[in-house]
Amino acid sequence: MNWIQFPVIALISTIFWVTGAIALGFENKGPIFKNLGIVLTMAGIAVFGTFLAMLWIALDRPPMRTLGETRLWYTFFIATIGFITYLRWKYFLFHLLCVLFALLFLFLNYIHPEVHEKALMPALQSPWFAPHVIVYILSYSLLGGSCLIALLGIYFIYKEKSPEKYLDLADNLVYMGFALLTLGLLFGALWAKEAWGHYWTWDPKETWAFLTWLTYLLYMHYRHYHPNRYKTHLWVLSLAFVVLLICWFGINYLPSAQNSIHVYGG
Amino acid sequence: MNLKNSHENLETSTKRDLWSHPWGYTESFVIAAELLILGFILEFVTGGKGIAPISMPYNFYILISFTGILIALRVFYSHNSVVKWLSGVPAAISSITAFALITMLMGFIPQSENNSPGFLSLIGLTHLKSSWPILLIQFYLLSSLGLVSLKRVYPFKGKNIGFLLNHLGLWLTLVAALFGSGDLKRLTINLLEDGKPNNIAISQNTGAYKLPFELKLLNFHIDEYVPRIVLVNANTGKFLLEKGEAAIPVELGKTYKLKKWSVTIDKYLEDAILTDTILSEKLINGSFPAVFVTAINTVDGRELKGWLGTGSFAYDPRFINLENDIILALTMPEVKKYRSDVVVTRDNEIVDTVSIEVNKPYNISGWKVYQISYDQNKGKWSTLSVLEVVSDPWLKIVFIGIFMMFGGSAYLFWIGRKKIN
Residue B6 confidence class, pLDDT cut points 50, 70, 90: very low
CB contact under 8 A, A246 and B405: no
Interface test with B, best of A67, A186, A200, A205 (most B CBs within 10 A): A186
Give pLDDT, residue A158: 85
Give pLDDT, residue B10: 41
Task: Tell me, yes or no, whether B107 lies in a domain.
Answer: yes
Laid out side by side, the sheet with B326-330 consists of B248-249, B228-233, B326-330, B320-321
Looking at the complex, report in whole angstroms how far the Cα of residue A245 sits from the nearest Cα belonging to chain B.
Answer: 13
Q: What is the pLDDT of residues B144-177, one digit of tens each?
A: 999 999 999 978 888 899 999 999 999 999 999 9
Contacts of A207 in chain B (CB under 8 A): 103, 106-107
Bridging pattern class, strands B349-357 and B362-364: unpaired
- For A231, the 3-state DSSP assignment is helix
Asked if B335 is an interface residue toward chain A (Cβ–Cβ < 8 A), one would say yes
Do B380 and B242 belong to one domain?
Answer: no
Chain A's closest residue to B104, CA to CA, is A211
Chain B's closest residue to A125, CA to CA, is B359
CB contact under 8 A, B359 and A126: yes
Task: Tell me, yes or no, whether B323 lies in a domain.
Answer: yes
- Residue predicted with more confidence, B96 or B203: B96
Task: Tell me, yes or no, whether B269 lies in a domain.
Answer: yes
Q: What is the pLDDT of residues B31-84, one digit of tens each?
A: 999 999 999 999 999 988 888 889 989 999 999 999 999 999 999 999 999 999
Phi and psi angles of residue B350, each rounded to the nearest 5 degrees, phi first: -75, 125
Give pLDDT, residue B416: 65
Give pLDDT, residue B194: 81
**B-contacting residues of A 183-202, CB under 8 Å?**
183, 186, 189-190, 193-200, 202
A49 pLDDT higher than 90? yes
**B-contacting residues of A 109-168, CB under 8 Å?**
113-123, 125-126
CB contact under 8 A, A217 and B96: yes
Q: How many domains does chain B have?
A: 3
Which of B316, B333, B350 represents a domain boundary (last residue)? B333
Do B343 and B357 belong to one domain?
Answer: yes
CB B220 within 8 A of CB B193: yes
**A-contacting residues of B 229-258, CB under 8 Å?**
241, 243-247, 249
Give pLDDT, residue B420: 44
Give pLDDT, residue B421: 42
User: What is the rounded CA–CA span in Å between residue A143 and residue A240?
Assistant: 9
Chain B's closest residue to A117, CA to CA, is B246
A57 Cβ partners below 8 Å, 6+ apart?
Answer: A1
Task: Tell me, yes or no, whether B24 lies in a domain.
Answer: yes
Identity of the highest mean pLDDT range in B98-102, B303-307, B324-328: B98-102
CB contact under 8 A, A117 and B247: yes
Chain B's closest residue to A114, CA to CA, is B244
Give pLDDT, residue B5: 43
CB B199 within 8 A of CB B351: no
Give pLDDT, residue A266: 38
Contacts of A256 in chain B (CB under 8 A): 106-111
Do B70 and B36 belong to one domain?
Answer: yes
B413 pLDDT higher than 80? no
Closest by CA position to B144, among listed A202, A235, A217: A217
Asked if A88 is an interface residue toward chain B (Cβ–Cβ < 8 A), one would say no
Phi and psi angles of residue B357, each rounded to the nearest 5 degrees, phi first: -135, 170
**B-contacting residues of A 7-66, CB under 8 Å?**
none
Do B57 and B154 belong to one domain?
Answer: yes
- Residue predicted with more confidence, B275 or B364: B364
Q: What is the pLDDT of residues B209-251, one digit of tens each?
A: 999 999 999 999 999 989 999 999 988 988 988 766 778 888 8
Question: Average of pLDDT values for A224-249?
Answer: 92
Give the H or E element holding residue B286.
none
B324 pLDDT higher than 70? yes
Interface test with B, best of A3, A67, A117 (most B CBs within 10 A): A117
Contacts of A200 in chain B (CB under 8 A): 177
Do B155 and B194 belong to one domain?
Answer: no
CB B143 within 8 A of CB B155: no
Task: Tell me, yes or no, whether B25 lies in a domain.
Answer: yes
Q: What mean pLDDT is reported for chain A?
A: 87
Do B315 and B345 belong to one domain?
Answer: no
User: What is the rounded CA–CA span in Å between residue B165 and residue B394?
Assistant: 19
Do B216 and B101 belong to one domain?
Answer: no
Do B340 and B302 belong to one domain?
Answer: no
Do B199 and B274 belong to one domain?
Answer: no
Question: Average of pLDDT values for A38-51?
Answer: 95
Chain B's closest residue to A177, CA to CA, is B413
Task: Tell me, yes or no, whether B41 lies in a domain.
Answer: yes
Q: What is the pLDDT of residues B261-296, one digit of tens each?
A: 999 999 999 888 877 666 777 777 888 999 999 999
Asked if A95 is an interface residue toward chain B (Cβ–Cβ < 8 A), one would say no
Contacts of A249 in chain B (CB under 8 A): none
Give pLDDT, residue B244: 62
Task: Tell me, yes or no, whether B2 lies in a domain.
Answer: no
Neighbours of B70 (CB within 10 A): 22
Q: What's the distance, CA B416 to chain centroid? A: 31
Question: Average of pLDDT values for A179-200?
Answer: 93
Question: Average of pLDDT values for A193-209?
Answer: 92
User: What is the rounded CA–CA span in Å between residue B207 and residue A37?
Assistant: 68
CB contact under 8 A, A193 and B395: yes
CB A216 within 8 A of CB A178: yes
Domain, as residue range, for B319: 226-333
Give the H or E element holding residue A39.
helix A31-59
Do B201 and B344 belong to one domain?
Answer: yes
Say what percent of chain B tops pLDDT 90.
63
- Residue predicted with more confidence, A261 or A45: A45
ipTM: 0.88
Give pLDDT, residue A3: 60
- Residue predicted with more confidence, B93 or B118: B93
A244 Cβ partners below 8 Å, 6+ apart?
Answer: A140, A143, A144, A212, A215
CB A150 within 8 A of CB B396: no
Give pLDDT, residue A133: 85
Q: What is the pLDDT of residues B111-132, one digit of tens each?
A: 887 666 788 888 889 999 999 9
User: What is the rounded CA–CA span in Å between residue A177 and residue A171?
Assistant: 9
Give helix B89-108 / helix B132-153 axis angle, nearest 10°.
150
CB contact under 8 A, A182 and B372: no
Do B340 and B204 belong to one domain?
Answer: yes
Asked if B108 is an interface residue toward chain A (Cβ–Cβ < 8 A), one would say yes
Do B214 and B232 belong to one domain?
Answer: no
User: What is the rounded CA–CA span in Å between residue B55 and residue B305?
Assistant: 66
Question: Average of pLDDT values for A94-103?
Answer: 86
B405 pLDDT higher than 70? yes
Q: What mean pLDDT is reported for chain B?
A: 88
Domain boundaries, chain A: 1-114, 125-258
Give pLDDT, residue B115: 64
CB contact under 8 A, A214 and B100: yes
Give pLDDT, residue B21: 81
Task: Tell me, yes or no, whether B81 lies in a domain.
Answer: yes
